[in-house]
Chain A
Amino acid sequence: MRKVFDDYRALADNVLRPDEPRVDKFVEAMGKSLKKENWTFWLPYVLSLDYCMKCGTCAEVCPVYQASGRREIYHPVKRSEMLRSIYRRYFTLGGKLWPGLVGAKDLTEDGINALAESFYRCTVCRRCAYVCPVAIDNGLVVREGRKILDAIGIAPDELKDSGTQIQLKAGNATNMGTAAFLDIIEFMEEEIADTWGRQVKIPVDKKGAEFLLMHNAGDYLAFPETVMGAAVVLQAAGVDWTLNSPATGINDVVNYGVFFSDGELEKVLRAQLKTALDLGIKTFVVGECGHAFEALKYLMQRLIPAGERPFEVKSILELEAQWIREGRIKVDPGKNREIVTYHDSCKLGRLGGLYEEPRTILQAACQDFRELVPNREMSLCCGGGSGFAIMAKGDFLKFRMETYGQLKAQQLTDAGAQVVALACSNCKGQFREIINYYKLPLRFAGVSELLANALV
């Protein structure tokens, strides 16, 4: 693959098609994106195109810019300007009359190549938008740019062809069939008995349950401790709950449409909604998955009318924290004696508002809980966000480790933690690699796993 932006390539040649003419199509798709038919983010999009003062405050908090040693190509304003210069050149009077003065540029094929790769270097963590004096959102500009790219056929296959498309067909993006799923459940029940000495019967496909717990399907394969931990907690709470198999529709809470396409976002949401309706459940519980919480809790609200979704959406963290406060489950922090810290996932924190819940759980369940610095709304993105955790073609894993990962590794080392608690699958995927890459003397664990471990 030839170099088009930096030393990495997130998009393979067959996706990017770097030598094909795409300029006209791009400009046409961008024109559409500026119309109100693109209502989902029209207002923040237009504001972010028109009113950036280029003060550079975003760069001071951007993880990839900082970690790269302030490389110009990773400057968040530079990145957004790649799209804005096209906007000005083709869609504003000033840009048509005085392109040089206002920073408008003709779009070239190389320009598209660089823009496409650049827009897959930002994880849309929105730390910059949080600190911007004018609340301009580079993350949103990136997401809108990715939507335009998708409209002309450029989307990472991990997210689309092998992501949303497989999920809609098979029920989960891991392409796991019902028989395999049921085998895993059986294995987990045995494993729970071995690990925690508890007899847990995991309910599957139960109709009319109070809680439908839907995990990131990748967790069954990559992070089974999270799934098992949640099962132990739910049984201990004595609530009426169920998991679901692909036989019932969608059994994967992920929604990669969040990262690059409103169309895919809505399709996946509607499929998840139909599954929940068919099962007749009362509360849709999002497992430990950040972007899925964003999609189901917030993005769904104005995309699908309230009347069509007669159930509540909650994160498993909200329930666990509530049950601890109510005394519904009892914990002994002495059972988690290691030094535990917590990484705020961008999607659960800045975008989801769940700051207290994980802390309520961890402070109750762990003997020595310590904060990472910075944390909460200023938490540093781990680098797994916006699909990166499952993107590792070419040297892309190295990019994730040498930029975002490097900052996170330093932060973990400074905290002196032995365990980093995580509540998001993408974070887990990224931390697994960070710990290996930097040979850090610690492990990661799901919040539910630590809680299950502390149950008395």
Chain B
Amino acid sequence: MDGLIYFVGVVLPYVTLLVFSGGFIYQIVRLARAPLHLHWELFPYPETLGGQVSELATEVATLRSLYLHHRKLWGRSLLMHWGIYLQVLWLLLVLGGWEKVSWPGFAGGLACLFGALGIAVWRYTDPEMRTISSPADYLNLFLVALIPLVGLITGFYGQADLLRSYLWGIASFHPIPPANGPLALNILLIQCFLLYLPFGRMAHFAAKYFTYHKVKWGEVSRHA
């Protein structure tokens, strides 16, 4: 057991870091090196940088496209996405030394869990959604739900101090194994998620830069 915890807590993080950053760099370089395609923008689109940033920020924060055109999905998707944002925020706070602030972790975990399960249930029970879904679509959702599920059960979001010393150990290249089994389990799940993230559809948040900036919004003013 100790050997396993050592592997998960001390060896695997560096593998994860390499695969995660390598994977993302590979995907981004692949897309960034794409040949310049023919004009294919859709009008109207924001033509100033400020306008573009504000439209993308609105979309990320409110999922406006879903609100306007697919209301049935909007609530649960917003719940899941904000759950992810809050959990990431919590991890950053923990890393930054604010380990007393635990509510973003708890709240984010709850939102993420119910949002992802809500989407999965709807995907399975709505005949129309079911027909366009493959097992991988459910797998993605379960992976997103599994982290907060296990985290909430094992009290992961309450162990900020232990997590912080563990993360700083990794970051300073003096890794120490996770203090207990449940913490190791949560760390394992997060690592699985990060290992998979660059290679699947869940990397859509990065792809969005290209679909919006390089394609939908064009790169020149139509008046140029």
CA separation between A126 and B214, bound complex, in Å? 16
Q: In the complex, are the beta carbons of B212 and A135 less than 8 A apart?
A: yes
| A332 close to B (CB within 8 Å) | no
Q: Which of A41, A72, A133: most chain B Cβ within 10 A? A: A133
Closest residue on chain A to residue B133 by CB atoms: A54
Contact between chains at B139 and A135 (CB < 8 Å) = no
- From 39 to 86 in chain A, residues with beta carbon under 8 angstroms from any chain B beta carbon are 39-44, 46-47, 50-57, 59-61, 70, 72, 75, 77-78, 81
Given known contacts A132-B65, A135-B215, is B210 in contact with A52 (CB within 8 Å)?
Answer: no
For the complex, is B153 an interface residue (Cβ under 8 Å from A)? no
A350 contacts B43, C-beta separation under 8 Å = yes
The stretch of B67-75, B86-94, B99-107, B178-186 that contacts the partner chain:
B67-75
The answer to whether A75 touches B132, judged by C-beta atoms less than 8 angstroms apart, is: yes
Residue B50 interfacial (CB < 8 Å): no
> B101 to chain A: closest CB distance in Å?
30
Judge whether B216 and A47 touch: CB under 8 Å: no
Give, as a whole number of angstroms, the nearest-CB distance from B116 to chain A. Answer: 13
Assess A103 versus B136: contact at CB under 8 Å? Given A44-B211, A352-B43: yes
From A50, A60, A135, B208 is in contact (CB under 8 Å) with A135
Q: A80: nearest residue on chain B (CB-CB)?
A: B132
The answer to whether B132 and A377 touch across the interface, beta carbons within 8 angstroms, is: no
Determine whether the beta carbon of A134 is less than 8 Å from that of B70. Answer: no
B44 contacts the other chain (Cβ, under 8 Å)? Answer: yes
Is chain B's binding surface mostly helix, strand, loop or mixed? helix
Contact of A353 with B222 in the complex, beta carbons under 8 Å: yes
Q: Do residues B132 and A81 form an inter-chain contact, with CB atoms below 8 A?
A: yes
User: What is the distance, in angstroms, from B43's C-beta to the closest C-beta of chain A?
Assistant: 4
B31 CB-CB contact with A under 8 Å: yes
Interface 9-mer from B8-16, B18-26, B33-41, B159-167: B33-41
Q: Does B37 contact A52, Cβ atoms closer than 8 Å?
A: no
Q: Would A57 and B44 count as touching, CB distance under 8 A?
A: no
A299 and B38 contacting across the interface, CB-CB below 8 Å: yes
Known: A60-B70, A131-B69. A75 touches B222 (CB 8 A): no
B135 at the interface (CB under 8 A from A): yes
Q: Is the CB of A41 within 8 A of B40?
A: yes
* Contact present for B207 and A40 (CB under 8 Å): no
- A349 at the A/B interface (Cβ < 8 Å)? yes
A: number of interface residues (CB 8 Å): 54
CB distance from A297 to the nearest CB of B (A): 8
Which among B37, B41, B42, B66 is the interface contact of A43 at CB below 8 angstroms?
B37
Is B70 a contact partner of A55 (Cβ separation < 8 A)?
A: yes
| Interface residues on chain B, number (Cβ under 8 Å) | 44
Q: Which residues in window 186-224 of B have CB below 8 A to A?
A: 199, 201, 203-204, 207-208, 210-212, 214-216, 222
Is A101 a contact partner of B135 (Cβ separation < 8 A)? yes
- A130: Cβ under 8 A from any B Cβ: yes
Contact, CB under 8 Å: B43 / A101: no
In the complex the two chains form, what is the Cα distance from A137 to B41 in whole Å?
A: 11
Determine if A102 is an interface residue (Cβ-Cβ < 8 Å): yes
How far does the alpha carbon of A287 sit from the alpha carbon of B77 in the complex, in Å?
45
Of the listed residues B77, B203, B207, B222, the one surrounded by the most CB atoms of chain A closer than 10 A to its CB is B207
Please state if B204 and A75 are interface contacts (CB–CB under 8 Å): no
When chains A and B are docked, how far (Å) is the Cα of A246 from the Cα of B198? Answer: 55
Q: How many angstroms between the C-alpha atoms of A349 and B41 in the bound complex?
A: 11
Q: Which of A75, A102, A349 contacts B43 (CB 8 A)?
A: A349
In the assembled complex, B134 has its CB within 8 A of some CB on chain A: yes
Smallest Cβ-Cβ distance to B223: which chain A residue: A353
Query: CB-CB < 8 A to B44: which residues of A?
Result: 353, 355, 377
A43 pairs with B132, CB closer than 8 A: no
The docked-state distance in angstroms from the alpha carbon of A350 to that of B137 is: 31
Query: Which among A57, A70, A351 is the interface contact of B70 at CB below 8 angstroms?
Result: A57
Is A302 in the interface zone, CB < 8 Å from B?
A: yes
B211 close to A134 (CB less than 8 A): yes
Contacts of B132 in A (CB 8 A): 54, 56, 75, 77-78, 81
Known interface pairs A51-B211, A353-B44. Does A100 touch B201 (Cβ–Cβ under 8 Å)? Answer: no
Q: Judge whether B211 and A36 touch: CB under 8 Å.
A: no
Q: Does B131 contact A (CB under 8 A)?
A: yes
Q: Is the CB of B40 within 8 A of A57?
A: no
Given B31, B37, B42, B204, which contacts A126 in the complex, CB threshold below 8 Å? B42
4 nearest CB pairs, A to B: A103-B134, A39-B35, A353-B43, A135-B211
A-B contact pairs, 15 of them (CB 8 A): A40-B37, A42-B34, A43-B35, A47-B31, A52-B201, A56-B73, A75-B128, A103-B136, A126-B42, A131-B68, A133-B66, A137-B215, A350-B42, A351-B42, A353-B222
